[in-house]
Amino acid sequence: MNNKVNVKTGDTVKVLSGKDKGKTGKVLRVIPSERKVVVDGINVATTHVRPRRQGERGGIIKKEIPLYASKVMNICPKCNKPTRIGHKFLENGKKVRVCKHCGETL
């Protein structure tokens, strides 16, 4: 099974579908084994936390839940558009990610 994910930690992405469709955010974490990503401020759920130790407080917290990487698309920093990712080899043999719209290195 191919566990390849086209987004990396720190990329700015736009959500393509779901309750947060159209929103943008920064990728906090990538989970390649599940093909999921955690995006800052996107897909937020409310969880109830119990106090674990004496003196610790419980309560209700908001937490980002992973969503499928296929539901997000990278945003090119130069042309500021959601784009697919291409790959190109530089003269020194290094492989880099490029924007399909403007050809800029990501």
pTM: 0.82
pLDDT score, position 65 = 95
Question: Does 2 have pLDDT greater than 90?
Answer: no
pLDDT in tens, 26-81: 999 999 999 999 999 999 999 999 998 898 888 999 999 999 999 999 999 898 99
Question: Does 5 have pLDDT greater than 90?
Answer: no
CATH number of the domain at 1-75, please?
Answer: 2.30.30.30
Q: Domain ranges in the chain? A: 1-75, 76-106
CA atoms of 69 and 101, how far apart (whole Å): 20
Cβ neighbours of residue 75 closer than 8 Å, sequence gap 6 or more: 11, 12, 13, 14, 24, 81, 82, 83
